[in-house]
Amino acid sequence: MKIPKDNYIAAGFGREFLWLDLANTLEWDGYGKLTDHLCDSSWIAAILKHWNLAGQLPRPVPLRKLAALRALLRRLAAKLISGEPLEAHDLAALNLHLKVPAREKLFQRQNGVRSELVPLHAGWPWLLSRIAASFAEMLALGRRDRLKCCPNEGCKWMFYDQTKANTRRWCNDRACGNRDRVRRARTRASNRKRAR
């Protein structure tokens, strides 16, 4: 199944950091039902295409390595969200994915010359390193307080709050936020009934 770009964006992907798209390939529907998008090669292709890493999708897809990197990123993100510092072994695990031979190369573009980091050998190690590098770039911003996890227990979507006041609470205010408001309204109504 091909996923049109607008569906990929509408599903909540492709908005913040590449690593978040991988982390959120474990997607809960808000009610606790889990979908693992890594089982669908079109999602992997959509992620790489959106972040301009597609080229040719190398075969076979290293699902175990992608799942292991996803688990690492979700674990590190959970630590940051809970206010825990990353330890040396956390950074060492992330650095293993970044250790891919690359070089700086100049390219002529419409607006002048641009420098880009290019791999000595294209393939999945390079793609995995770019995903890990996006997590490192987020860390370098020094705004760990903006990394959040949707408080809906049936969701667990991770996101980077880009609101000016850092006040975003839900992954999607119309979905999880609305469910929470309905749940609280029903609880209040139920409590009023019991109080009578």
Class of domain 5-168 (CATH, top level) = mainly alpha
Beta-bridge mates of residue 113: 108
Q: How many residues does the chain have?
A: 196
Cβ-based neighbour number of residue 83 at 10 Å? 8
pLDDT at 2: 46
pLDDT band for 105, please (50, 70, 90 cuts): very high
63-85 per-position pLDDT tens digit = 999 999 999 999 999 999 999 99
Instruction: Return the pLDDT at 182.
Output: 65
- For residue 58, give the 3-state DSSP assignment: coil
Closest among 78, 76, 100 to 90, alpha carbons compared: 76
The structural domains of the chain, with segments of one domain joined by +, span 5-168
Give buried/exposed letters for 136-158 (b at 16+ CB in 10 A, else e).
eebbeeeebebbbbbebeebbbb
Closest CA to 41 of 68, 24, 59, 26: 59
> Which of 32-46, 102-116, 140-154, 180-194 has the least mean pLDDT?
180-194
pLDDT band of residue 7 (cuts 50, 70, 90) is confident
Three-state DSSP class for 72?
Answer: helix
